[in-house]
Amino acid sequence: MQLIVDTQKLIEKMQLFDKRSGQWIFFNLWPRQVEFLEVMHNNRKVIIVKKRQTGLSQLTGADSLSQCMILSNFTVLILSKSGPDAKEYLNRVSGMYNSLPPELKGQCQLSPDQVGTFKIGSRTITLTKDNAELMQFENGSRILSLPANRGAGFTADRVVIDEGAFITKSESHISLETVLQRVEPTLDKAKGQLIIISTANGMNTFYEYYKSAKAGLKKFYAFFFSCWEDPTFTPEEREQKVKDFGEDHTNQEYPRTDREAFLSSGRPRFDAKSLQHYEETALKEFWRGFLMQDSEALVKDDKGDFVLYERIQKRTQYAIITDVSEGIENELKDPDYSDVKIIKISDLTQVANYHCRIEPEQLGIQLLGFTQVVSSD
């Protein structure tokens, strides 16, 4: 992955559209935005949960524009939840280019198929095409902005999925999971970068990716931008939003923590505070792997179906409770799983879980081997 990491000075010569004032204003990067730039420049895969109006989507666009102006043959693919959103994204990026000061930009006004130039030191950057879907540079670099359901087949150096939590079959005619399956081969071919950025929208695919990234189970860098990291946002303003729109809406749009963002968003069927309590008190995974039937009863593996929540201790009594299945697919072709709980008798806390599809006889042999190995260690 080749990136220019010193883009801040160039970005701060651009302007972004400020929704509050309805005007174009200069980038004046907040400390957390500078951190985000560093994260973006130093990680191949990044997933971001943010509050509304952080400027991170536009900052991603500004950095992508900078990369294309400086690097040759650098392709950026922007994927949004809909066609109008994709056009609006590229319109903002085009506006950033047009906002550059006269001494840096050619005199001509850019329109489709017209030529504009931008000088960086001794280099001259020429923009040859600027329309609703494409910004094309003479150096071979380009920014392509499309709805998510049209993003397959393009080889890209950077893919940005904007508002990824809202890319669903109902809104985008494609799921986020399918989008990721389609773009991964193009990224692998170019050894490119993937950036997924969004406000929260319930516990969907975006949530699962962010949660796994935060736990270190996926090769993503998890980045969260809270309402308090916006220096223009005050406690008084948040209190007013709670009064005007309710606590759940405010927690979704202006979250203080990433957990708060996900619990309050989407369409939860259960009380958000109760869900937060259960998530905070949920058992934390200590070890994961596979349960074998031979002398090496436990084999560590991140994809394993046997989970320990704490170390098994000698001279401690445990109960093994098993809901046994047939270990085969039923008439609905659904896998028939057995579920095993290991409980510490002294305080009735669960210390392990085994969720497997295996024949009853084989399951018994595995559990027997497990007890023998544990008791002998």
Rounded distance, CA 204 to CA 209, Å? 9
Q: What pTM was estimated for this model as a whole? A: 0.70
Helices (H) and strands (E) in the chain, counts: 12, 17
Burial of 103 (0-12, 13-18, 19+ CB in 10 A): exposed
Torsion sign over Cα 301, 302, 303, 308: positive
DSSP state of 304: -
Give the start-to-end residue ranges of the domains of the chain.
Answer: 8-233, 287-376
The four Cα atoms 31, 37, 38, 42 give a dihedral, to 10 degrees, of 160
Could you please state the CATH topology (level 3) that the domain comprising 8-233 is classified under. Answer: Rossmann fold (3.40.50)
Structure token digits, residue 148: 């998510």
Distance CA 199, CA 44 (A): 21
Q: What pLDDT tens digit does each residue of the chain (377 aa) get? A: 788 888 898 899 898 877 777 788 888 899 999 999 999 999 999 999 998 888 899 999 999 999 998 888 999 999 999 999 999 999 999 999 888 876 665 433 333 333 345 555 555 677 888 888 999 988 899 999 999 998 777 889 999 999 999 999 988 999 999 999 988 887 877 789 999 999 999 888 999 999 999 988 888 999 999 999 999 999 999 999 999 998 888 988 899 999 888 886 555 555 556 666 666 678 888 899 988 765 557 888 888 899 999 988 888 999 999 998 876 655 555 567 899 999 999 999 999 999 988 888 888 888 887 777 666 65
